[in-house]
Structure 1
Amino acid sequence: MTDTSLPAARLWWQKTDKAWLALVTLLALTAFFDPAQFRPTVTFTATALWHTAPFIAFAVLAVATMKATGAETLLARAFEGRQTRMIVLAALLGGLSPFCSCEVIPFIAAMLALGAPLGAVMAFWLASPLMDPAMFLITSGTLGWEFAIAKTLAAVGLGLFGGFVTMAAARSPVFADPLREKPRIGDCCGVKKPLEGKPVWRFWQNPERAETFRTNALENAVFLLKWL
């Protein structure tokens, strides 16, 4: 007789979101081992979430709007002009762009394919995952504006450092061919050709863009609620 319990359990474990599972487990352990602390813990969490809710809502809507309109294409302007100016603008925009560490990879690959200087690309690459509008608003709402601004400056500073170091080493044979294959767009985090087309601000008139807005808003909301 074949035992199917192990494969079923393994399949359940693979499909289960570990973050939500950990949250439920911690609450259950608190209720079991320290019942008196369970209610204050839930109350504290709910209160903190309530105070942070306006920041979460604004961040979710802002990022979803940028994705739906295609406004991320405006970031390409940071790569126009002299390389020093490009590095500075790329680092600044990197600290403001709504890209996570995996979303930024296809965008960077596309920039390299278009012939953008490696120094500016590196500046954007380093600064972008460290800070974005959602992270800034959430950080300011939980840890204060001072901490959020300091982290933004640190992200931009790291981008500037990496950009200028890369520019100085750009003539090395190591950087002779930074992109050996055509980039794949639309692989991680649902990124779709960030440099093609102009922004469409009335995205709700386009069913596909409206669906993009809804999908991104839901995914970002769940993500922020899960990891707060």
Structure 2
Amino acid sequence: MADITHALSRPRLWQGLSRQRVWLASAAILAVLFLVRPAQGTASLVFTAEALAGTAPFLLLSIAVAAYASATGADNLIARAFSGAPVMMVVFAALVGALSPFCSCGVIPLVAALLAMGVPLSAVMAFWLASPVMDPSMFMLTWGVMGLEFALAKTAAAIGLGLLGGYVVMALGRGGALSNPLREGIGNGGCGGAKLRAPKPVVWRFWQEGERRARFRREAVSVTLFLLKWLTLAFVLESLMLAYVPAETITGWLGGSGAGTVLLAALVGVPAYLNGYAALPLVGGLVEQGMSPGAGLAFLVAGGVSSLPAAIAVWALARPPVFALYLALALAGSVAAGLAFSLLA
């Protein structure tokens, strides 16, 4: 007994369990269902398997895009977006943020590097707001789960949000506001800064180099496991939502197309948002039950930009005025995107 207790106390074991918490959550939910409601457990398991099979083509495309970007070094293209006239810099930064995949260093160290290197906050804000909303892998999965029209709308929302943020910050900056946006003690971004200071050329034919082929394989495996664990949890939760949340409740709260409904969806999206890939099936299920597409878009955009984990990271990096502006722009932009989509859909 003492040996077992000693083994369980090892930090390495707990670290391993922490890394697998998403898989463990899915398994725990299904296990409880089979114990309490066996019929629903079976139904949820079948629903999850069928949903994963249905999104498999888009899942494979997402994995291929992410692995290709890593193997070729396409994330080095980011450095080209932050040069030139400030007005055009905002445009390029919004496009790069919305359309390009990046390495696992993440948005926050890249933002720290950009600001530490003197890149205008307007361009950084455009990139900062657009990047969490969309990338090629997300586009493929959004297409598979929500349809092409919704995927295009979410891409347009990401670019529009980046442009809104960039030009608002540019206007405020002319009056002397928002100077010195970083908190004291923030470094230069680590590996993110290295990519910006000395960008390497992109090698599109990565298969000609053994090290890049190995990187492609590693990234493909990593992305596959990442997407599968989050989509599995999302589809399990969606099966429960469809089974136990009455459609009339969703329609009553989020079924309209007015500003109040879209604003409510955006506000709910901030604390309720778990992960960009996990949120897609959940919103898809809500739309099937009566949620308006505009409210669904507002939920995804607001949640992606200002979810609690992202907000905490921004708070740790930026001074309070910049943090407040980031949240205000995220909320205003997501509501505007939701209203526009409601009118056009």
Structure 1 residues 164-183: aligned runs within 5 Å: 164-170=167-173, 172=176, 174-176=178-180, 178=182, 181-183=187-189
Structure 2 letter corresponding to 1:163: G
Per the alignment, residue 139 of structure 1 pairs with: 142
Asked if residue 218 in structure 1 is aligned to residue 221 in structure 2, the reply is yes
Decide whether the 8 Å contact of 1:122 with 1:159 is kept in 2.
yes
Asked if residue 8 in structure 1 is aligned to residue 8 in structure 2, the reply is yes
Indicate which of 192, 200, 203 corresponds to 1:197.
200
Asked if residue 26 in structure 1 is aligned to residue 43 in structure 2, the reply is no
Decide whether the 8 Å contact of 1:112 with 1:178 is kept in 2.
yes
When you count helix as a share of all residues, which structure comes out higher? 2
Residues 85-122 of structure 1 deviation map (CA, whole Å, 9 limit, x = unaligned): 11122112211122489612233334345543221111
Indicate which of 82, 88, 112 corresponds to 1:109.
112
Indicate which of 188, 191, 212 corresponds to 1:185.
191
User: How far apart, CA to CA, are the structure 1 residues paired with 2:179 and 2:226?
Assistant: 36
The structural deviation recorded for 1:10 is 7.1
Classify the secondary structure of the residue corresponding to 1:129: coil
Decide whether the 8 Å contact of 2:105 with 2:191 is kept in 1.
no
Classify the secondary structure of the residue corresponding to 2:202: coil
Moved over 6 A (4+): 1-4
Of stretches 117-126 and 208-217 in structure 1, the one that deviates more from structure 2 is 208-217
Residues 4-56 of structure 1 deviation map (CA, whole Å, 9 limit, x = unaligned): 72772574444211111111111111111122233322221111111111111
User: How far apart, CA to CA, are the structure 1 residues paired with 2:182 and 2:28?
Assistant: 45
Per the alignment, residue 151 of structure 2 pairs with: 148
Matched-pair identity in %: 50
Structure 1 letter corresponding to 2:107: V
Of stretches 113-122 and 67-76 in structure 1, the one that deviates more from structure 2 is 113-122
The structural deviation recorded for 1:173 is 6.3
Per the alignment, residue 77 of structure 2 pairs with: 74
User: How far apart, CA to CA, are the structure 1 residues paired with 2:194 and 2:45?
Assistant: 39
User: How far apart, CA to CA, are the structure 2 residues paired with 1:26 and 1:192?
Assistant: 43
The structural deviation recorded for 1:174 is 4.2
Decide whether the 8 Å contact of 2:72 with 2:206 is kept in 1.
yes
Structure 2 letter corresponding to 1:8: L
Structure 1 residue runs without a partner (length 5+): none
User: How far apart, CA to CA, are the structure 1 residues paired with 2:15 and 2:97?
Assistant: 34
User: How far apart, CA to CA, are the structure 2 residues paired with 1:31 and 1:123?
Assistant: 47
Matched positions, count: 224
The structural deviation recorded for 1:66 is 0.9
Structure 2 letter corresponding to 1:5: T
CA-based RMSD: 2.8
Asked if residue 57 in structure 1 is aligned to residue 53 in structure 2, the reply is no
The structural deviation recorded for 1:3 is 8.5
Of stretches 1-10 and 116-125 in structure 1, the one that deviates more from structure 2 is 1-10
Decide whether the 8 Å contact of 2:76 with 2:195 is kept in 1.
no
User: How far apart, CA to CA, are the structure 2 residues paired with 1:90 and 1:226?
Assistant: 31
Of stretches 34-43 and 169-178 in structure 1, the one that deviates more from structure 2 is 169-178
Decide whether the 8 Å contact of 1:30 with 1:38 is kept in 2.
yes
The structural deviation recorded for 1:199 is 0.5
When the two structures are superposed, what TM-score results if normalisation uses the length of structure 1? 0.84
